[in-house]
Amino acid sequence: MSVSSVAKEPGPQGEESPVVSPSSPDEKKKREYKEFGHDEEKPTHANVDMSLIELKAEDLYDKEKVDLETIVIEDVFKLLQCDEEGLGDEEALRRIELFGPNKLEQEEQNAFLQFLSFMWNPLSWVMEGAALVAIVLSNGNNQPPDWEDFIGIVLLLFINSAIGFYEERNAGNAVKALMDSLAPKAKVKRNGAWLEIESAGLVPGDMISFKIGDIVPADCRLTEAINVSIDQAALTGESLPQSKKLGDQCFSGSTCKQGEAEGVVISTGANTFFGRAASLVGQDDDTTGHLQKILAQIGSFCLVSIGIFVLAEIFVLYAGFRYSYRRGLNNILVLLIGGIPIAMPTVLSVTLAVGAQQLAKHKAIVTRITAIEELAGVTILCSDKTGTLTTNKLTIDRATIRTYGPFSVDDIMLLAAYASRTENQDAIDSAVVQALGDATRARVGIKLLDFKPFNPVDKRTEITYREEASGKLKRVTKGMTGIIIELCSRNKTEELENKLEADVEEFATRGLRALAVAYEELDGQDPEGEGNGFELIGLLAIFDPPREDTKQTIDDALALGVKVKMVTGDQLAIAKETGRRLGLGDHMYPAKVLKDGPAPGSKHLSLDEMILDADGFAGVFPEHKYEIVKRLQGLGHLCAMTGDGANDAPALSRANVGIAVEGATDAARGAADIVLTEPGLSTIVHAIRGSRVIFQRMRNYSIYACAVTIRIVVCFAILAFAYKFDFPPFMVLIIALLNDGTIMTLSVDRVLPSMTPDSWDLAEIFAYAVAYGIYLTASTVALVSIIMETTFFYDNFGVTFANGVGNGAFPINSNDSQLHMIVYLQVAIISQALIFVTRSHGFFFMERPSFALLGAFCIAQLVSSIIAAYADFGFTQIQPISGGWIGIVWVWNIVWFAPLDWIKFAMKATVIKKLRQRHEAAQAEQAITGVPITRTQSRAASIHESLYSNRVSFIRRAARKVGFGSKITMKPEELQRFSSIQAQRTGATLARNPSRTAAA
């Protein structure tokens, strides 16, 4: 069967990959294969007088002056002022100063400023304001400044900041250790001699060399290329390597799969192909995580609640009761100190940091700590295919091998392995030999007489060998289907050709690349003699197989309510086949639909609906991945994106949670929030479960913190209004310290993860908080009322105050020092006990807390009781109380604690049920109208929300202004350069649009 007109499909070194092409009715269908890539672009000369261009970064990387990627190689040497003997040590050192190191800069945050950042949020401001009130404004009515409260507030702030700083610093150090361990090496020619240095020391103009297995250390132009094949999958998403020749460009981070090469470095560090991708990350100083939005809203709830009652006290106490300046100020300080959940940012940071260290045990390094919270709410996981879902390693699919003669599948595999190189292999030879199981079998029992390696002209390999058992000479060839069938003469029939054509077409529709194998025997003993004619014996199917654990990972993700979508730069047929094998489905679309939208008359009314419904997209460029993630976020979904290459970096940066898989490039790691350090995606399922555990801990604390705020401000405001009760601010500080010490242990509490994505329903949190807060307020007000209005406790338990009041002698002084101590103990005990109710979904005793939480609670209660029994601070209005009063308070709190679970159940059955019904109705309406629910947006946030971020804050921006850190900038339109097509056609674009001359 002759083949003259064909469609080509990319393959490594031009290896075969079939695609059916139509032909005229007069002739049979014919098939050819073409290599990856596009129309060849010839190098151009620089359009400027290079003698006018100085050797400095702004000139070298100004494409309006010269394009180092496309000009002829002689001009490259002239422009870079270098030659093939390499640079000298002094010149290399000078260029390091000019261009900087060949690595992506990582911002080092000043440790002191990072510590202070924990005190830079609205909640901390209120406490800092309270400290100023205590030390500056309290100096009145012939009383000195309130040093005790000032020192206590500052101590509280510093303790919270120190804990948060320590935990977050630990998490950051783990990431830094990971990055430091990945420092690559490079072989460079300096002073005319080859030596090995860290690739960070490379500069433009250096001569470098690399061979099979090496990673290209910087963007370069090849000055020598011997059978070179470069794997650019990590950069462009293409699954097969590319042949490179003299003058071609190789990108930093790509891998040499075959041959040896030398080249001249043209760009380093942030100016490399994927350096520009990494610069997309974190350009906006006001970007924050989803958690900061939640913190801002919870903080606003607490601040508004406090503000309302502070204003009420100002009017009632000063205007109504005519309080003195200092007395009223002390009451306001009680609300400020007791109501502000000062520990909230720290508790959540510690919870996240502890969670980050737990995820590290599953080989997941968290680079943005708030991403853990967002991962708990992720509803859609967009995953790159090559190297993420698949192994990025070609494999022979034995189940689909076709036979055309007397040989079995095992025989065909063995003969194909004979016709493969066993050393310095290309991707397909390696796949064929590895398919044997034992690579040594490829040469056992035969003597190699002649071997013709693959070349782009013949598009096949061929071996002539002597079979040791029989002494006969035999020949095997494998390669492109059209070429091999042309060689066959012994069994080529119309029926065979039709069968072969049908098999190749079936492989093509499934995204499998076909490799034909033919065999002949030689009559004599001359290895170069003619054989008896080739016979087509088999057709092999080559594909990039899914990882072993990927299918289980996807099934687990679906069980957790997370939908997985494949987003790949590979062909549609390959994507569909991979989807079928993984159970993802094959409902996939080509990338062009993202521009054209759904076809007229299709079942999808809009592009958003199509994206939401699709199992995946194929043939996408980085800007498409970015657009998909952006649209899914616009529909109200929290979106995670996995990837491994620079082409994934923009989408990784845009996603709520960007996940760089094992072996990812620096650009992908820089853009990602979570970096996996072992192969496969199974770690993601561990991370999702772990993040949901962490989310439950944070939600439990948020309900608790808001409830305590309501409980303090409402309780002490009512007592002040009803009894002119002046509670000492210092005792509120002690309550806050004991509460914070106990509540920190929530970061390791035992909780069960949910089986569906979590989301912050703040209406539920605030509803629970108000219910609990008002109930606990009632417990305190009732206790004070009984003590002041009746003789109940004296009559039944014989307890009195130190001055004898309480045994029937009235009126009782509302500001009796022992009454203050009783209120302190009652508030301290039951406020901390509330955490056992907020952390459980059923009865509190049905869900065992961690030993840390239980132990901290017991210690705090012991300390509270000891203070009540023995503390006699002269500077504040308290005195110790008897054991009888302590016992009464404990029993009182136990009685009031018991119904808290029933309040929780009542809230679930009424208010919470209605809130959820309303939420479900909103979701149903959104499904009908297509109007997105407001659940989340991208990381962009208002300045108010960014103030709750420890990592992105005013202080960090100030640090940059004084030189502590800097960022690389990049024009958004340069996104297009991250796809292989645009990169290869840059020269043609410049040729059509001549650059400005230096004189211009």
Torsion of the alpha carbons at 16, 22, 25 and 28, rounded to the nearest 10: 10
For residue 919 the two structure tokens come to: 């939420």
What is the chain's length? 1000
User: How many Cβ atoms sit within 10 Å of the Cβ of residue 63?
Assistant: 13
Indicate if 384 belongs to the active site.
Answer: yes
Q: How far apart are CA 494 and CA 472, in angstroms?
A: 31
The stretches of 27-121 forming alpha helices (DSSP H) are: 57-60, 73-80, 89-99, 111-117
CB 807 within 8 A of CB 791: yes
**Whole-number Å distance between alpha carbons of 381 and 360:** 20
Contact 836, 700 (CB under 8 A): no
Cα–Cα distance for residue pair 920/933, rounded to 1 Å: 11
Question: Which of these is catalytic: 67, 384, 429, 758?
Answer: 384
The encoded tokens of residue 463 equal 């071996």
Taking the CA atoms of residue 360, residue 361, residue 363 and residue 368 in that order, the dihedral angle to the nearest 10 degrees is -10
Q: How far is 632 from 398, CA to CA, in rounded Å?
A: 39
Residue at 177: amino acid letter: A
In this structure, are residues 57 and 271 in contact, taking their beta carbons and an 8 Å threshold? yes
660: CB partners within 8 A, 6+ apart: 642, 643, 644, 652, 668, 669, 671, 672, 674, 675, 676
Question: From CA 377, how far away is CA 219, in angstroms rounded?
Answer: 39
In degrees, rounded to 5, the angle at the alpha carbon of residue 250 between the alpha carbons of residues 249 and 256 is: 145
Phi then psi dihedrals of residue 683, to 5 deg: -60, -30
Max distance between CA atoms of the chain, in angstroms, equals 129
CB atoms inside a 10 Å sphere around CB 962: 9
What residue type is 981 in one-letter code? I
Helix (H) or strand (E) holding 194: strand 193-198
37 exposed, middle or buried (CB, 10 Å; 0-12, 13-18, 19+)?
middle
Beta strands at 460-467 and 446-452: parallel, antiparallel or unpaired: antiparallel
Q: What is the CA angle 511-516-517, rounded to 5?
A: 145
Distances (CA, A) of 515 to 398, 460, 864: 12, 9, 79
18 φ, ψ to 5°?
Answer: -80, 145
Provide the 3-class DSSP secondary structure of residue 676. Answer: strand
Residues 769/770/772/775 CA torsion (nearest 10 deg): 170
Q: What letter represents residue 721's amino acid?
A: F
Are 221 and 110 in contact, with CB atoms under 8 Å apart? no
588-590, strands of its sheet edge to edge: 364-366, 674-676, 657-660, 639-643, 380-383, 563-567, 616-618, 588-590
The residues that are catalytic are 384
